[in-house]
Structure 1
Amino acid sequence: MFISFARLQVYFLVALLLIAVVYPLYLFGTVMGLDGFDLRRVGADFYQFLLASRLAVSGNAAQLYDFSWFYNEVQRNVADGSGFYAWVHPPSMLVFLVPISGLTYLQAYTVWMGMGGLLSFAVAFSRRAPIRAVTFFIFAPATLVNLFYGQSGMLAGGFLYGGLRLMDRHPAWAGVLLGCVSIKPELFMLIPIILIAHRSIIALCACVATVAFLVDASAVFFGSGLWWIYLETVPSLVTTVMAQGEGSFLYLIPSAFGAMRSLGFSATAGYMVQLPVTIIAFAVTFWLFAREREPVARNLAVTLCVLLATPFLFLWDYAVLSPALYLYATRTGLFDDDMNTPLMEPVLLFAVYLLPIVNIALAAHGFPVGPIFTALALLAVVVRMIDAERTQASLVDDEGEGDNSVPDDRDGDEELGTT
């Protein structure tokens, strides 16, 4: 069947119109009104990051983990504040927040989101990408969700994919970038498996050194006891929130755990379903890096594994997928109008692409599709990768005994092996 990302983009444009134009107009007309407009309604979650940066600079970082005080402070400063606000990030996150501490809300929001967006786009940059691929990346639903909530998914995505893309050519820099992912521990779970399976001592040492530097720097500048406070308070809070959260909060969690909780099951049942998914994600990740594989497909597959592995996953975290999906679609030709490709792969990848804006509505109606779409997309990528490897192996066998070498196309993962 003739189908491609280029043709599927019409659905994305419709979704973009609804989210970027219709929904803001609805909010402005029915909730805000002409007298109630406040810039802090845009990216309301970002106020937590700005408050954290100011407390860190003023020497009061420990107040971040006084959850009652922090919640009341955010409620007081966010227009019509509502929902759950708590600082659950590790102290190492504060190292990246210091530069915005002296800015106004709008300035800080622009710098923070711009820094994440530029990093995410830079690590996926390709001279061969058509213009429609660029718009596909910039206006990705995950990008819009991060802008709407003011979250850090794009920054984490830049660190993660940058590290994965540099793994083969610049292991030291890869280790540094992967070490920076530790500011979001839920996305850092698979990094040790990746480095161990890849057997890159340089990358592993650089990663460990980066994590140690962030821990030491946050302890020195923001208080030596801050990490103990974090370890004593945050794990128990997160466990309680995941067990007792309800309503629309659960629709923001597209993990297997979140799917079970949104269907009305207990936290225990959610963890029982999440555990095998996490184990499979760990196993697939080790398999992907245990031997040399085509880097673009491998990096997309492992990014999907990162999203599947953690129960504490939110929709804005899908921004880590944007660079990997963007480069994969560019390399495989899924952006080309004349690309004749099997039906399922582009449909599944596009479903994951749209997930940040459709999961809430579907989960609210009893269809939490996040982990299902993500797992099926992983399966499609792995199947394509295996088929490509088998075809390449058969071509090598057909060459006979004269020359059994395979051309080395590892110049910066600019080419994707095709069948």
Structure 2
Amino acid sequence: MDKPRRALHKPGMGLDFLREAGWLNAGRVRGYLWLLALLNTATLVFLLATAHRGVDRNGFLLGTDFLSFWTAGRMLRAGGEVYDIAAHIAAQQAYFTQDSAFTAFFYPPSFLPFCYPLGFLGYFPALGLWLLATGAFYLFAVTRWLRETPGPIPVSVPAAVLFAAFPPVLITVTHGQTAFLVAGLLGLGALLVRRAPLAAGALLGLATIKPQFGLLVPIVLVLTGEWRVIGAAAASALLLAAIATLAFGAGHWAEWAAISGEAQRAMNQGAVGYAKMTSPFAAAMLLGAPAGLAYALQALVSLGVAGAIALASWRRAYGPALAAAMLAGAPLVTPFVLDYDMVLLAFPLIWLAGQGFRPWEKAALALAFIAPAFARPLAMNAAIPIMPLALILLFAVLLRRAAGQANDMAEQTTRESLT
């Protein structure tokens, strides 16, 4: 009787597990998304249910970072000096004190018009309104990308499930952060460039409230010749700055510039926590590199990403592939980026999911989607910074797509001109 033969191991079988990721089929992805949505929702419900008078089980105020924005609004109403660090600390601690902790406020004066209305409400009503308004705007931008992505998304789940399942969404909610607003402005603006250039420019101009995430935008827009978008973005940014200046005084700009050095020192000293950050700079600092080497690594990555996106944009038309690559590269070109800022990745991930997968693309998408859930715990407990690698891989596959589609468009244009 013949013995059953064992399946022969093919060379590269283990690598194919990631290269093709055939195991990650539509059914499994659908199940994973529903499971993540339920887990994230349950986590949020548990956090709220176990809080006592707005303070969670670990002694942190619900919304944590939002205290800074709300305090700024209260100070503006009272005519206080928002950029006076000592005054801001005192104003925060007048409402809540936790082991002398302080949530810094380093946003430019153009963000002040967004903070001012918050000061008319109590902390928790303002937090709820902030999350509902910015979250709804972000979800609207996500649904527009879902609806207008050229190819069909291979997994059919409601947009609300995608929203709830995406790990950075929970991080943004628990921190009360600006990430929904900034990501929505950049994502919707990038989507509308060809269809509604003036609206796109207005949105991108408003995104200057967090300017470090828009560094690639002017490169792409200039090299693709989107001059109406550039003009609208400049007008929008200047109008927002003028509103802030007229409403709160020109002196705030000098005060903000003066505390920028303090922000730099806080980052160098790890006041925010390198484990919470997702940049190459933070990864190097977490691994024990000196600050000079960490900044050199960040500069190398930033220049590499900017140069690559410039080459992909050179003498080519703006399109969704280039928009996706631009948004995926945004978190890589700034040293100051945190895990909640990864909500911006929803837009390039949606676009990539609708294209049909080439080698490594499915793995890159899956890693970028789930990595924010594990990035902070791994960095804090094991000093393993996984997020920069996930971002680089995602940017690389999207850049390849953008360059390929641009070449296809150029060939098509040439053929049409010859006929």
TM-score normalised by the chain length of structure 1:
0.82
Is 1:332 the counterpart of 2:355? The answer is: yes
CA apart distance, 1:260:
0.7
Aligned positions of 1:295-334 closer than 5 A:
295-329=319-353, 331-332=354-355
Aligned positions of 1:152-301 closer than 5 A:
152-233=178-259, 235-245=260-270, 249-292=273-316, 295-301=319-325
CA apart distance, 1:396:
8.9
Distance 2:389 2:416 in 1: 47
Distance 1:65 1:200 in 2: 36
Corresponding residue number in structure 1 for 2:6: none
Corresponding residue number in structure 1 for 2:373: 357
CA apart distance, 1:354:
1.9
Contact 1:141 1:356 in 2 (8 A): yes
Aligned positions of 1:141-160 closer than 5 A:
141-160=167-186
Deviation string 1:358-416 (CA, Å, 9 cap, x unpaired) is: 1112212121011111011111222334455667778899xxx89967xxxxxxxxxxx
CA apart distance, 1:269:
1.5
Distance 1:384 1:191 in 2: 18
Helix, strand or coil at the partner of 1:168 = coil
Q: Give 1:353's aligned amino acid.
A: F
Q: Give 2:355's aligned amino acid.
A: T
Q: Give 1:57's aligned amino acid.
A: R
CA apart distance, 1:44:
1.6
Contact 1:197 1:286 in 2 (8 A): yes
Q: Give 2:396's aligned amino acid.
A: L
Contact 1:74 1:81 in 2 (8 A): no
Is 1:110 the counterpart of 2:128? The answer is: yes
Would you say how many aligned residue pairs link Structure 1 and Structure 2? 388
Contact 2:361 2:397 in 1 (8 A): yes
Closer/same/farther in 2, CA of residues 200 and 22 from structure 1, 3 Å limit: closer
Give the gaps of 5 or more residues in structure 1.
Answer: 334-340, 406-419
Helix, strand or coil at the partner of 1:131 = coil
Deviates more, 1:79-88 or 1:156-165: 79-88
CA apart distance, 1:94:
1.1
Helix, strand or coil at the partner of 2:343 = helix
Helix, strand or coil at the partner of 1:250 = coil
Give the gaps of 5 or more residues in structure 2.
Answer: 1-19
Distance 1:382 1:226 in 2: 39
Distance 1:387 1:183 in 2: 33
Contact 2:33 2:165 in 1 (8 A): no
Closer/same/farther in 2, CA of residues 81 and 186 from structure 1, 3 Å limit: farther
Deviates more, 1:161-170 or 1:2-11: 2-11
Deviation string 1:180-205 (CA, Å, 9 cap, x unpaired) is: 11100211222322221122221111
CA apart distance, 1:342:
4.5
Deviates more, 1:388-397 or 1:268-277: 388-397
Is 1:379 the counterpart of 2:396? The answer is: yes
Corresponding residue number in structure 1 for 2:106: 88
TM-score normalised by the chain length of structure 2:
0.82
Distance 2:413 2:110 in 1: 48
Q: Give 2:28's aligned amino acid.
A: R
Closer/same/farther in 2, CA of residues 211 and 33 from structure 1, 3 Å limit: closer
Percent identity of paired positions between Structure 1 and Structure 2: 25
Closer/same/farther in 2, CA of residues 35 and 223 from structure 1, 3 Å limit: closer
Distance 2:241 2:53 in 1: 46
Deviates more, 1:175-184 or 1:93-102: 93-102
Aligned-residue RMSD, C-alpha? 3.1
Q: Give 2:106's aligned amino acid.
A: V
Corresponding residue number in structure 2 for 1:413: none
Distance 2:32 2:97 in 1: 33
Corresponding residue number in structure 1 for 2:361: 345
